[in-house]
Amino acid sequence: MKLSALLLAGVLPFSVTAIAQPFSIPGPGQQGAMMQMMGMEKPRLGVGVMPIGFDELDSLGIGYGVRVGEVYRDSPAAKAGLQEGDLITDLDGKAVYSPKRLQWLASGLGGAETANVAILRGGEKQTLTLKLEKPQAAPAPIAGYNGPAFLGIRMQPDPDGKGVRVTEVIEDSPAAKAGLAAGDLITSLGQKSVDDPRDIFRAMRYFDAGDTIDLSYSRDGTESKSQVTLGTPPAGIAQQMMPRMPMMGRMHPHGFMQGMPSRPNCAPKQTPSTGDSNPPQNI
């Protein structure tokens, strides 16, 4: 079966330098700051989460998930029975393959009263129902929040395994503006070689909307290079396509993809250092 997907990766607005540190869905007293960063209304889950390493995912026999590093007192997560050490795999039936992804999914809950969280605890799968707190009105977005990165192509593996074949380019998308066309063979993205669609998804996890990255492709046997400035998904596309995306990235022990420099060829984004990457980061 051919793998064909609309490329909508990098699902939350935090810079790659923060991937090495755990992220939190804000608990009591923290919602205002998070809502200001997101620029939207969102219920509070009240849980701090961290990425799970590649080797551990394999040993657990799961393809994706995040680890609960902290559950905030009196939060919806605490009241639902979520515990430190639980592995969250899905939120309302949508795959959670990174802390950024969980934050993005949580931000889309809007005025929902409940949310179902699928977890793995002691090797056993469970589903917990969180009773969400009513979101408050959100302030204006903080400057610098650009949303999830969007390239705008459909793709499938190349039979020869030499890249990723573009089957469709979305009109007026970043890919279209960069000169990509159906039939092109993408060979590298963001200075990372591309052998199959999973490499595209892995690379896109490390960029935000507004980043400009290198792109190499072949057209009718002629190699070309370009730069693409990633955009934000058109209305409706993100909600439609993102739940179908599997976890395709695997974390380097330090939080970065092996072989990929930190945010290559894009303007640096300043992320404060906590000096401690072990406990969940309060956002």
Taking only the tens place, the pLDDT of each residue in 11-51 is 322 222 222 233 444 444 443 333 333 333 444 688 889 98
Range with the poorest average pLDDT among 40-54, 154-168, 228-242, 268-282: 268-282
Output 237 or 58, whichever has higher pLDDT: 58
pLDDT, one tens digit per residue, over 103-148 is 888 877 877 889 999 999 999 999 999 998 765 544 443 333 345 6
CA–CA distances in Å: residue 246 to residues 8, 62, 91, 99, 202: 12, 11, 14, 14, 11
Comparing CA positions, the residue from 121, 148, 120, 116 lying closest to residue 40 is: 148
d(CA 283, CA 281): 6
Q: Domains of the chain by range and CATH? A: 5-11+145-244 (2.30.42.10), 16-131 (2.30.42.10)
- Contact (Cβ atoms closer than 8 angstroms) between residue 65 and residue 120: yes
Side chain identity at residue 77, one-letter code: A
d(CA 29, CA 91): 23
Mean pLDDT taken over the chain: 69
- Contact (Cβ atoms closer than 8 angstroms) between residue 17 and residue 169: no
pLDDT, one tens digit per residue, over 65-76 is 999 998 888 889
